[in-house]
Amino acid sequence: MNAHEIDYRIFGEEMQYVEIELDPQEGVVAESGSFMMMDSNVEMNTIFGDGSNQEKGILGKIFSAGKRLLTGENLFMTVFTNVGQGKKQVSFASPYPGKIVPIDLSEFGGKFICQKDAFLCAAKGVSIGIEFSRRLGRGLFGGEGFIMQKMEGDGMGFIHAGGTMSKKVLQAGEVLKVDTGCIVGFTKDVDYDIEFVKGIKNTIFGGEGLFFARLEGPGTVFIQSLPFSRLAGRVLAMAPQTGKGDRGEGSILGGIGDILDGDNRF
């Protein structure tokens, strides 16, 4: 194997974290900000790119790091390496409620495509790159734009799905229609495109947007029930207006307080 062979355990239910067990000189690469805790003798190094064996020299590292900017990620990634004796552990946490999904790239043909903010960590040697959409409609209306992330190699990678995760194995020619924001990732053989919602009433009053994501097998698709954009939108919609956060929502005093504040708009 080119990637380090790591062991892992996933803990928790709604807010999970993954504990990676490293043998001496084994390493794991992670997104900045996902680190939770580590044993002594685990060394942390910030690097350009993803630290995979595909990077050749300084130009290769700069190119690898530059591609990450296109996905909205940081230029740098962090590598955690066991420099001591015996097995050591390092843990990485979910960014918001959901499930951590282990992806064994050797079982998926060496490549897995995921949305831009789904990647959490991977065994050192796994290449973290970008996947361009070659279809105009998918790039403009697919919810993920023209660029998604991809993991390549033969090691373990870990992605995060918001809410509850559903795994669908599609047969050749089998089609699954999904809300564009609910896609977590899929294997390389899945044909991903967008499809217009049919019917004027559905389009205008349905509240589900103008497009579906259309996924056609063969391949494996991972779907999330709570995209972060949906969660953030609900939180923002329910947030109190500036200067009104000290009164309980729905309370009688809330309405009286608005009048006293001079805000009598009903």
Per-domain residue ranges of the chain: 7-238
Token pair for residue 198? 């049919």
Compute the distance between CA of residue 217 and CA of residue 192 in angstroms, rounded to an integer. Answer: 9
| Contact assessment for residue 119 and residue 36, using Cβ atoms and an 8 Å cutoff | no
- The yes/no answer on whether domain 7-238 falls in CATH 3.60.160.10 is yes
> Following CA atoms 45, 50, 56, 61 in sequence, which dihedral angle do they give, to the nearest 10 degrees?
-80
H helical segments located in the chain: 57-70, 136-141, 200-205, 228-238, 252-260
Spell out the per-residue pLDDT of the chain, length 266, in tens: 577 889 999 999 888 999 999 999 999 999 878 899 999 999 999 887 666 655 555 555 555 555 555 555 566 788 999 999 999 999 999 888 899 999 999 999 999 999 878 899 999 989 888 887 655 444 444 444 457 888 999 999 999 999 889 999 999 999 999 888 888 999 999 998 877 765 554 444 444 556 778 899 999 999 999 887 767 766 777 777 655 544 444 444 454 445 444 454 44
Which residues have CB under 8 Å from 106's CB, separation 6+? 1, 154, 155
77 membership: H or E segment, kind and range: strand 76-82
- Structure pTM? 0.76
